[in-house]
Structure 1
């Protein structure tokens, strides 16, 4: 009997040993299989090699705000984040009548008549500094991490990772031939929007940084730099001349009036330049010693001037102040878009607002303002 029990125990141990070996073998096979699958996945993974001078086109899924929601889009602000940056450096009206908002909270599209948020688009970088729309309606974003193209019909990213003089894009402009110019902190680049190809780079730009861009009535490109203005031939890509010795030296913003004159904002002046002769015509008296950050003209030819100490409306002929806008989210005005939705839309360092053309008063858009502004308004 004892011998029989002993024999059973031995057989049990043997069976357990075989089972254990089988499990270990199976585990090993599974491990090898997992490793093989991982290696195969890595083998077919796209290479992260640097882009060539031809722009790399990349289709990426982005989120649209067309899905049904229990809260109307205009009442669904970005969730407040006290540590976030709510500046709005770029505003771009499009061909459909919508207004694109480039902020450090990302890219959005609104109905400028009602303020309703139509879409919030996920983009690779939220540090948006400039916007432009090309001839077929695509939206281009200049960010501090590169250039991005968005299809407004699908809200999809259709191109990015262009090899620019620098990844820090400060300004964008479409020229008379339809080419896109991108100003960076280390020079200029010209891109074919249709093919997504980098056509020309201007690395040795006098004044180095292309802070602002404008086209004169002759089709020449003017670049606001760290050391004055540079005129560029858009056909050849070569600088034609440089204007230095301007009050304030660094040109931060540019606009062209209905007479074809160039208006340039510097850290302590608003200047008017004749682009045909390169002559400085005048410094607007009321803007002397003011840090001018943005300039735009409305349909009545008034000039709206955004400074670090508020938004002003001027008579461009006399330079007289026609009004100063109160109740903005911040006195630091980074972008101005007049005559959009029968309003003047304003981007500040603390968020977005619109100005009534009837009363001249500003109203913050609560979907795009800092929590501190919300607290003050409550």
Structure 2
């Protein structure tokens, strides 16, 4: 095994160790390779090693003078010292470089793909497989390459009623339901591209037209607005107010969420608490602490995210499960999804993501990281989605949408 180099100047990109057979393992430029995201040193072929001249006994690369044959060994020693010192220095630098590694690779799907605005309020996957992203600047359909954008056009009655999209829900007909900031609900027929507005059936009050959450079912759509919860008949366009929470929605609060569980119960998570809505009067479950997110996992367990962490809903009670990274630490859970491996992903707004293992209680934190390619793009996520292929989609407040493999890179 012999040390080889591109010169005694020991440039960071030009030396390595010859391990025989023409193969050289070298230290090169530090890289953060797309797809690995890990800071590394390149392993690329390097130049020839030192050669001592026969005429004046100088190193042919560094011009070190070797005045006499007996001093050739000293000359080589000097050359090696020039090479080895930077080698050791780079080896030392490689230790803190490990701090720049990452376990997950997230690809931003933003303006370079056609996203017109970077505050994402909703993400959904339709029955055809397309991903839909709702922002304050329009509705976007992502086909794996580019976004197609749908906006309100005041000259076109067949366009969206409002470009500010606040909620999305897909059903199997195939139809996409779109909740808006000021003009209630629209329905997009995915086969024909036709948009049907449900604006005319709404009252004039803004609170009744500002949509916060949607749940699409076979014959109706549940619509949570600032004023309360409506049931909208998809065929007739008739809406009926079902419930108004005891505490009104305030601007800046997380949007409420709706979920129909396997047992048929309709759950309504609001800043005034968690409610179950059935044929009788809606009833609060547990105390009046805020409820922001809901998820029923594959085992049928109902998970709840609130102001102070993650909870389970069981036997009519709210049972705390995870109360933050430390006592008193912020733990506002705005979104919950389950990855194919059974672990839950939580948006802990505005403090990044947490991966929670229900079987062990282990929690892993992911925070915004721009030091490596593929790091988490921000810490403030309004919505999460695991698509049918098992990929994790993130809807950020500031930097648009991103997608990654929840199993890790």
1:149 corresponds to which residue?
187
Residue 282 of structure 1 deviates from its aligned partner by 2.5
- Tell me if the contact between 1:135 and 1:178 (Cα under 8 Å) persists in the aligned partners: no
Within-5 A mapping of 1:178-327: 178-193=219-234, 195-209=235-249, 211-233=256-278, 236=279, 238-245=280-287, 249-274=289-314, 277-286=315-324, 289-307=330-348, 308-322=350-364, 324=366, 326=369, 327=375
Q: Please give the alpha-carbon distance, in whole angstroms, between the structure 2 residues aligned to 1:309 and 1:322.
A: 13
- Tell me if the contact between 2:308 and 2:324 (Cα under 8 Å) persists in the aligned partners: no
- Tell me if the contact between 1:142 and 1:169 (Cα under 8 Å) persists in the aligned partners: yes
Secondary structure of the corresponding residue to residue 154 of structure 1? coil
Q: Please give the alpha-carbon distance, in whole angstroms, between the structure 1 residues aligned to 2:365 and 2:377.
A: 17
1:171 corresponds to which residue?
213
Q: Please give the alpha-carbon distance, in whole angstroms, between the structure 2 residues aligned to 1:163 and 1:169.
A: 12
- Tell me if the contact between 1:306 and 1:335 (Cα under 8 Å) persists in the aligned partners: yes
Moved more, 151-160 or 306-315: 151-160
- Tell me if the contact between 2:212 and 2:225 (Cα under 8 Å) persists in the aligned partners: yes
Structure 2 gaps of 5+ residues are 1-109, 152-159, 250-254, 370-374
2:133 corresponds to which residue?
101
What whole-Å deviation, never above 9, does each CA across 1:273-319 have from its counterpart, x for those lacking one? 11xx2112223144663121111112222111012111222112333
1:126 corresponds to which residue?
163
Moved more, 335-344 or 130-139: 335-344
Q: Please give the alpha-carbon distance, in whole angstroms, between the structure 2 residues aligned to 1:289 and 1:159.
A: 40
Secondary structure of the corresponding residue to residue 197 of structure 1? coil
Of residues 147, 158, 174, the one that matches 2:196 is: 158
Within-5 A mapping of 1:2-41: none
2:176 corresponds to which residue?
139
- Tell me if the contact between 2:132 and 2:139 (Cα under 8 Å) persists in the aligned partners: yes
Q: Please give the alpha-carbon distance, in whole angstroms, between the structure 2 residues aligned to 1:102 and 1:279.
A: 34
Q: Please give the alpha-carbon distance, in whole angstroms, between the structure 2 residues aligned to 1:198 and 1:134.
A: 19
1:338 corresponds to which residue?
386
Residue 115 of structure 1 deviates from its aligned partner by 4.1
Alpha-carbon spacing, 1:282–1:167, altered in 2? closer, same or farther (3 Å) = same
TM-score, reference length from structure 2: 0.60
1:21 corresponds to which residue?
none
Secondary structure of the corresponding residue to residue 208 of structure 2? coil
Q: Please give the alpha-carbon distance, in whole angstroms, between the structure 1 residues aligned to 2:309 and 2:390.
A: 29
- Tell me if the contact between 1:185 and 1:208 (Cα under 8 Å) persists in the aligned partners: yes
Secondary structure of the corresponding residue to residue 301 of structure 1? coil
CA RMSD of aligned residues (A): 2.5
- Tell me if the contact between 1:299 and 1:339 (Cα under 8 Å) persists in the aligned partners: no
Task: Say whether residues 1:116 and 2:146 are aligned partners.
Answer: yes
Task: Say whether residues 1:87 and 2:136 are aligned partners.
Answer: no
How many correspondences in the alignment?
Answer: 271
Alpha-carbon spacing, 1:300–1:358, altered in 2? closer, same or farther (3 Å) = closer
TM-score, reference length from structure 1: 0.65
Q: Please give the alpha-carbon distance, in whole angstroms, between the structure 1 residues aligned to 2:284 and 2:164.
A: 30
Residue 205 of structure 1 deviates from its aligned partner by 3.4
Structure 1 gaps of 5+ residues are 1-72, 80-84, 361-378
Of residues 370, 377, 380, the one that matches 1:329 is: 377
Within-5 A mapping of 1:355-374: 355-357=404-406, 359-360=408-409
Residue 207 of structure 1 deviates from its aligned partner by 4.3
Alpha-carbon spacing, 1:197–1:220, altered in 2? closer, same or farther (3 Å) = same
Q: Please give the alpha-carbon distance, in whole angstroms, between the structure 1 residues aligned to 2:338 and 2:294.
A: 11
